[in-house]
Amino acid sequence: MLNQIHGAIKIFAGNASKKLAQEICAQLDLELGKMEVGKFSDGETSVNIKESVRGCDVFIVQSTNTPVNDNLMELLLIIDACKRASAGRITAVVPYFGYARQDRKARARDPISAKLVADILQTAGANRVLTMDLHSSQLQGFFNIPVDNLMGMPVLARHFKSVGVPDNLTIVSPDTGSVVRSRAMASRFDAPLAIIDKRRPMANVMEVMNVVGDVKGKMCLMLDDMIDTAGTICQGAQALVENGASEVIACCTHAVLSGPAIERLKESKLSKIIVLDTIDLPKEKRIDKIEIVGIADLFAEAIERVYTDLPVSKLYE
């Protein structure tokens, strides 16, 4: 049990992240907070906290994955309920932050949804946000409260070291946007880096143009922050095989896996897809190719550091 620094520490979970929250509580030797989150007969979300939170340091664990709007509304109402019940500090623990890709006006009259969600979280009463691998790091600037953005890459790197790293490993960035995290992974393994140059004619449609780097006879590890419809990662795997790669593995932090993703992954050239459990995958999406790596220990340590006012930056290393 954590020594009391502020008010008592309490962890609650929305319906999207109950399993992860329970694992975090087990790491911290805490009981998950008692709360009911359901629906009224007209479909409105209902929240009822079953224990006192007055003066407490409250952490609310809830990813905003599909159904995005329902999960986001749950998170907002839980925050509001805690604020109105006189919680001391409220931290929104959002392992997967939905709407993060809508971070700019790509076309005339587009909303900047990520900024709106940031404003709503603060208005609801969040004093801090703890998340992982925001789609773009500048999203932290949308908030006027502290945001701790944990990195998934070190967790994935430790996993690969534990199972053994082949001599012919090459790290591959599936696009230019993932070059920074892919280069960091390559430096950990002292492995070469390749980049897939692509053109995207429209949303969720990707055409591979060229593979920059030597992948012939290599075991290629593609690294990205998320897999959504899986078009990028599957077409990237096809291009790598056509350029002589002996095996292609994909890994990502967030397994969004929407639309045709599962069928694409089944039929792809990928031998394995390794994901973190920021999103609780339903059974129908847990195909044989997918391997899930837990992140409860990292979030547990981050929560402990936030609660005890220790730096979280150590966890970025």
Whose CA is closest to 46, among 72, 65, 11, 73? 73
β pairing state of 169-173 and 193-202:
parallel
Residues with active-site annotation: 198
Q: How far apart are CA 172 and CA 149, in angstroms?
A: 23
Note whether 58 and 12 are within 8 A (CB): yes
Q: What angle do CA 82, 34, 39 make, to 5 degrees?
A: 75
Q: What number of other Cβ atoms are within 10 A of residue 285's Cβ?
A: 14
Whose CA is closest to 281, among 8, 51, 17? 17
Q: How far apart are CA 136 and CA 113, in angstroms?
A: 13
- Tracing tokens 């078009």 back to the chain, one arrives at 231
